[in-house]
Amino acid sequence: MFMLFSAACFRSSGVRLLRAYGNAMTSDISDKPALHEAVGKISWLLGKWKGEGCGVYPTISPFMYGEEIVFNHVGQPMLSYNSRTWHAENGKPMHHETGWLRIKPGTSTLAFIIAQNTGVTEIEEGEVEGHKIRLLSHTVGRMSFGAEPKVLKIERIYTLKDANTLELECFMETTNTEHQKHLHITYEKVSE
Ligand code: HEM
């Protein structure tokens, strides 16, 4: 009896909750949530971007790679972020990362929270100024069986060159090497 009652109760309150959520977010429950006003300053990142970039570092041979990134909005003061890269010649999957680019409402202050498939996690913070974003890590985590060298610092600079062209420069410091460039890529917008 109790189980029947609780199942019915769960079903009806679940439906009520879903309706309340749908009404609060949009007029139609299947719609995407409305853009949160705080993300206006970084809304130029929204969409799917694709590009070909190059990687360098004093300890490795220079390489070319392809990458697709997606910045999406979720109705909160943040954008979701996904990136996958592949070998420029054989198409094999390489670096992947995913996370959230948060903005402190009412300011230009950003926090980029990222998990990498290499076992590195990071929190970068910085500012958006017009169509440029500069971020520097203050926290870099690492799994216990991660490869050497350890990453100590990561810096990313995004620049919107025009409405459909985005550039990323990425610098890093490791236990072996001073802070310097690792990646440079230009993306073209694929879809909104
Ligand atoms: C912020 C993101 C990234 C971090 C923190 C990172 C970190 C590193 C580190 C620590 C190394 C080893 C350097 C050394 O041995 O001195 C490395 C090498 C390398 N990275 Fe990245 N990386 C990042 C993004 C990428 C991306 C997007 C690609 C694109 C495919 C990439 C491709 C490579 C390659 C091909 C190597 C050389 C590997 C080898 O020769 O064994 N990395 N990276």
Of 15-19, 44-48, 73-77, 129-133, the poorest mean pLDDT is in 15-19
**How far apart are the C-alpha atoms of 192 and 190, rounded to whole Å?**
7
**How far apart are the C-alpha atoms of 149 and 174, rounded to whole Å?**
6
CB-based contact 171:152 (threshold 8 Å): no
Q: Structure pTM? A: 0.89
Beta-bridge partners for 111 = 102, 125
What percentage of the chain exceeds 70 in pLDDT?
84
Mean per-residue pLDDT of the chain: 89
Residue 29 binned pLDDT confidence (cut-offs 50, 70, 90): low
CB-based contact 162:183 (threshold 8 Å): no
- Whether the per-residue pLDDT at 28 is higher than 80: the answer is no
Q: Name every protein residue with a CB atom under 6 angstroms from any ligand 1 atom.
A: 55, 57, 59-60, 63, 65, 85, 94-95, 120, 149, 151, 154, 170, 172, 174, 176-177, 182-183
The CB density around residue 111, as the number of other CB atoms within 10 Å, is 17
